[in-house]
Amino acid sequence: MTLLALDTAGTFSGSYHTTMAATNKQILVSPLQGAQQHPGAKGQPTFGFTVQWQFTDSTTAFVGQCFVDHCRKWMLETAWLLWEEVPSRRDAWKATR
């Protein structure tokens, strides 16, 4: 994941290059858009971002928090939900992972 500069509103963009995918297609770098809790509010902010995959018909939303360990190393803890395009609303139950 590569992030560009965080603006004063807490929004950011960048790119995501996954090594895992449930497809036989070539994996491509995909754009991401997100927002972070106001950077000055706390030292370990919450955030969320979405990735629009360029090699499959799906989008993933990530939410989480930034943590700083005792060596001042930043770690992102996240939960995610992927929604894959399905042919109809009736099939929506099988769209998520």
Q: Domains plus CATH for the chain?
A: 2-94 (2.40.128.30)
Strand intervals (E) in 4-85: 11-16, 30-36, 46-52, 58-68, 74-84
Predicted pLDDT of residue 26? 83
The residue type at 51: V
Rounded Cα distance, 8 and 20, in Å = 33
Question: Would you say the pTM of this structure is higher than 0.85?
Answer: no
pLDDT higher than threshold 90 for residue 80:
yes
Q: Taking the mean position of all CA atoms in its chain, how far away is CA 68? A: 19
Give me the pLDDT at residue 74, please. Answer: 84
Give ∠ CA 46-61-18 in degrees, rounded to 5: 105
